[in-house]
Structure 1
Amino acid sequence: MRVSTVTMFEQSVSSMNRQQNDFMKVGQQIASGRRVVNPSDDPQAASRAVGVAQSKAVTQQHMDARVSARNSLSQEESILNSVSDAIASAKTLMIQASSDTLSDVDRESIASELRGIYETVIGQANATDGNGRYLFGGYQDNSPPYVREADGSVSYVGDDNVREQRIDSSRLMPVTDNGNKIFASVPSGAKYITEMGDNQGSVIVGGPTVVDSSDPGYGQQYRIEFSGDGEDATYTVETFDTATQQWVALDPAGDYQDVDYVAGEQIRFGGLSLTLDGTAADGDSFTLGRATEMEPNLFKTFENALAVLEQPAETPQQKAALRNTLNTSMRELDNSLDNVLTVRASVGARLNEIDVVDSVGGNRMLNYEQTLSDLVDLDYAEAISEYSLRQVGLQAAQRAFVDIQGMSLFDRL
């Protein structure tokens, strides 16, 4: 078989191109630091790398979401800490205001300080996060959740929803709490509280205190209603019938129907004990119920306390109203403080959970990075050795082409 000069040239050029292509490929791998530069380099590894890269990107998104969630929860925890301190300070002032030695001027001074605390709590309830969204308005986070009405009271205009954020593929976490849960709720085990009607007498309620929580009537709502004035006064204990939505006598033919009122006596019913003292007037009434059933509202508690502290307490009726209102307000503050601390504990638990999920996510991210490295990253020692080998091969191909190019029969003549 005769080998033509053209064939030798073509084979030499093809060998040179092949060696140069291999040499450039290794150089590209070294420059990029990746073994798989193009999918054709290792189709199986490239395919697996795409899936791992997608999982890594999702994990990174969850990590970013946890940063945002941690910021929101940390800010809420800080605000709840301030609110709990404010409630404790308010109760201290009310205890001070309950002293019989204070004058009206002294109580007005205490009311001024209490109003400052009240305004502080309102400001905290309308706090925003770093993005200008209101924390405690639920989904209504573009406007203040608490607004003042024409009569000066504070109303909640947010909703009962809770903003959530996905911090992991299997965890959707609440990152805020709505205002009703914080400022208008109490724990399920909250104490009994007393609300008085538009009374004209000077009866003061001491208690109620729980003496037997196993009593069949414990947990129900009760009302004490007076008939007659002064020494002729009698009282009837009623309970609220949830079926008919009406007040009915607790024991129509027994010990709680038209009972002669004796100042200072102790009454027991429904597992409760309370003391009535002072002068009763016809039509006076007191309602007793679990705090969970008495429409709890921290702002209403402040408003009721301020209303009596800013008014003179000269007559027996005014002094009784002052004492009863402050006693009820202090119980409500205790319940509100317990509720705020419960919510704060929930926030702390969520922050701890984020730390745990963050640790797991960090380990997962390291695993993904290691897997990607095993699939597509370059072994530099092997690559440099291959680079040197390809360089020698290219030089040899070039040298062979030069030698073949110079060959001629005329050299043999």
Structure 2
Amino acid sequence: MSEFRISTGQVFDNIRDRLQETTGDLNRTWDRIAEGTRLSQPADDPLTAVRLQGISREQVADSRYLENSASLDALLAREDNTLTAYGALLQRCRELILQAANGAMDPASLRAIAGEVQGLTDGVASVINSRGPDGRYLFGGFRDDQAPVLQKTDGSWVVNNDDPGQRQVTIAQGWQMLANDTAVELCFRINDGQGGTFNLLDALGSLHNLLLAPGEDTNEQLNQSLQAVDQGLNQVFRVQTEVGTRQHIMAISNESLDQRQLYAEQLAGELGDLDYAAAMTQLNREMTALEATRKSVVQLAGLSLFDYL
């Protein structure tokens, strides 16, 4: 009697273990069918699971790079528009200088031109102190939380921060792009054509003073002002060209990232998508095994001691 109870208990334990194992296999297969994935847990295929995890990390990183590029592209587009406005102001200054150089201009006319030059100078400073949608200054460099240029009480213009470096944004692995340009290069380090630099805002201020109080060498000084404005325009065009180049490079980078994303999705699909025909075959096999195990339990439960006597 004791031996019978022990052997029966062992049989029940074995069948119970088998039942749990078969039920677990069946549930995992159902999960894969419901999710459309071949792997419901890493243990199903450790090597493939590791590859899928790597692909997922790459996709997350590439998505972040694309987001960075989108934000940077919007910022550079705003800068490009701002530089266009800057160039338009300088172009108007150039026209006024040529107008003032006309020998028929009387002092009253020159004063009127001086008033417009003053307004244009203020406009240039305002453009250089432009802010983005986030309230940060476009041309502030690393210190984009304060206005880049400031006018002193004596009328001269100075850089308002001590850190005009250019920020960088990562647009792809190991690839960074300049995110902004600075007031220093746009206003305070204009090439004078002779190996030196000058402050464009102060040059416009000198032009204003000249028009208010012309002298014997007015034409010569107007010619110098014209050269200064032309150099300023060249600098604006150069920076604007660089901005366009960055946008073009980002477009190429983004196209490459989009292709990588597409390839990663296809590869992940090939590795992880479910073969439904094979899954249904496996499901039927597991259901058959589960049913056989259940019948074994029923048959064993129906036995009595008298069946063994």
TM-score tier, shorter chain, comes to: 0.7 to 0.9
**Of 45, 64, 73, the match for 2:67:** 64
> Which stretch of the first structure deviates more once superposed, 97-106 or 18-27?
97-106
Cα-to-partner distance string for 1:318-369 (whole Å, 9 max, x where unaligned): 2x24322211111111111111101110110011000001111111222233
Pair 1:303-2:307 in alignment: no
Cα-to-partner distance string for 1:90-113 (whole Å, 9 max, x where unaligned): 111111122222222222222222
**Of 203, 217, 222, the match for 1:326:** 222
Pair 1:358-2:260 in alignment: no
Task: Give 1:183's aligned residue.
Answer: 187
Cα-to-partner distance string for 1:41-93 (whole Å, 9 max, x where unaligned): 21222223333322332222222221222122222111111111111111111
Number of residue pairs aligned between Structure 1 and Structure 2: 305
Q: Distance in 1 between matches of 2:144 and 2:15?
A: 75
Pair 1:384-2:286 in alignment: no
Pair 1:89-2:92 in alignment: yes
Residue pairs, 1:145-160, within 5 angstroms: 145-158=148-161, 159-160=163-164
Q: Distance in 2 between matches of 1:149 and 1:412?
A: 111
Q: Distance in 1 between matches of 2:277 and 2:231?
A: 70
Looking at CA atoms only, which structure, 1 or 2, has the larger radius of gyration? 1
Check 1:78–1:14 CA distance in 2 against 1; reply closer, same or farther (3 A cut).
same
Shift of 1:409: 7.5
Larger proportion of strand: 1
Shift of 1:163: 1.2
Task: Give 1:114's aligned residue.
Answer: 117
Shift of 1:175: 1.1
Q: Distance in 1 between matches of 2:306 and 2:180?
A: 94
Q: Distance in 2 between matches of 1:126 and 1:140?
A: 12
Pair 1:393-2:295 in alignment: no
3-state SS, counterpart of residue 167 of structure 1: strand
3-state SS, counterpart of residue 339 of structure 1: helix
Q: Distance in 1 between matches of 2:185 and 2:222?
A: 24
Q: Distance in 1 between matches of 2:201 and 2:228?
A: 11
Letter in 2 for 1:308: L
Shift of 1:298: 1.6
Larger proportion of helix: 2
TM-score (norm 1): 0.67
Whether contact under 8 Å (2:190, 2:200) holds in the other structure is no
Whether contact under 8 Å (1:185, 1:339) holds in the other structure is no
Whether contact under 8 Å (2:96, 2:113) holds in the other structure is yes
Cα-to-partner distance string for 1:245-304 (whole Å, 9 max, x where unaligned): xxxxxxxxxxxxxxxxxxxxxxxxxxxxxxxxxxxxxxxxxxxxx2x42x3222122101
Q: Where in structure 1 are there 5+ consecutive unaligned residues?
A: 192-289
Shift of 1:6: 3.7
3-state SS, counterpart of residue 114 of structure 2: helix
Shift of 1:412: 11
Check 1:354–1:15 CA distance in 2 against 1; reply closer, same or farther (3 A cut).
same
Whether contact under 8 Å (1:30, 1:383) holds in the other structure is yes
Task: Give 1:18's aligned residue.
Answer: 21
Q: Distance in 1 between matches of 2:174 and 2:89?
A: 38
Task: Give 2:82's aligned residue.
Answer: 79
Pair 1:369-2:271 in alignment: no
Letter in 1 for 2:177: M
**Aligned residues: CA RMSD:** 2.6
Q: Where in structure 2 are there 5+ consecutive unaligned residues?
A: none
Letter in 2 for 1:323: N
Shift of 1:169: 1.7
Percent of matched pairs sharing the same residue: 26
Pair 1:344-2:246 in alignment: no
Letter in 1 for 2:60: A
Task: Give 1:239's aligned residue.
Answer: none
Task: Give 1:131's aligned residue.
Answer: 134
3-state SS, counterpart of residue 26 of structure 1: helix
TM-score (norm 2): 0.88
